[in-house]
Amino acid sequence: MSKKFRTKTGEVTALRELTLEAATGERLGIVGRSGCGKSTLLELVCGLQEPTTGTIAAGGGRSAAARLAQCALMPQRDLLLPWRSALDNAALAPELKGVRRREARAMAEPLFERFGLEEFSRAKPAELSGGMRQRVSFARTLLAGKPVLLLDEPFGSLDSITRAELQEWLDGALRAEPRTTLLVTHDVEEALFLCDRVLILSRRPGTVRAELGAGLERSLPRSERVTSPEFTLLKERALEALA
């Protein structure tokens, strides 16, 4: 699959002959430098764009509408509506599918309990920390009820301490709510920690440069997992592929 854009100065190839496949329930990490086409890839998968050449299927659906019906995209920015409470922001996903607001809230409440947001359900986005906003955004993504999750730099704007905490939190959340997941990030450690496999993309035009099996033992605490010899070796291989 390839994707080209027309600009005022000519044609730009964002992705070139890129091939990938994720098994049902698998977590697939996509790592690459800024501008290599990672976000474009997610938009292609979920049907917001179409490839210039090649085909894309998600959950068996090939058309843009069919792919969109299978995929829930969590963009880099949380895009929470400032006039809605945290709970109502999460409940927006089922509301858009025709569920009444009261019922949508009832669907969101168990996730708020599980995600440690119960005390902040009535808070407006401006009253939440960055980490809380991302958890609300993830709850909204899950409540869309799609079998494929597309996560675009979900923790990119957070400080390193909060980011590490939320990586561990997301790992647990995905174990509790298993979905086929494509995680886009520029953070090698984040991808290796969270994903079963990691694809390294080249500079633009993006294409798969390396593939790493990252299925490390998940029962270990994060601090032990990311310092293990196996993890360190995979990280070195990923950085070499990015260099």
Domains of the chain: residue spans and CATH: 3-79+146-242 (3.40.50.300)
The 10s digit of each residue's pLDDT in 46-94 is 999 999 999 999 988 899 999 999 999 998 888 999 999 999 999 999 9
Buried/exposed 52-71: b ≥16 CB within 10 Å, e otherwise: beeebebeebeeeeebbbbb
The whole-model pTM stands at 0.91
**Cα–Cα–Cα angle for 139, 211, 3, nearest 5°?**
75
Q: Write down the pLDDT at residue 214.
A: 67
First and final CA of the chain: distance in angstroms?
Answer: 24
> 3-state DSSP call for residue 15?
strand
CA nearest 14: which of 29, 32, 36? 36
pLDDT in tens, 162-215: 888 888 889 988 988 889 999 999 899 999 999 999 999 999 999 999 999 866
> What percent of the chain has pLDDT above 90?
66
| Cis check: omega of the bond before 82, within 30 degrees of 0 | no
What is the number of other CB atoms lying within 10 angstroms of the CB of residue 110? 11
Phi and psi, residue 19, nearest 5° = -125, 130
Contact 216, 225 (CB under 8 A): yes
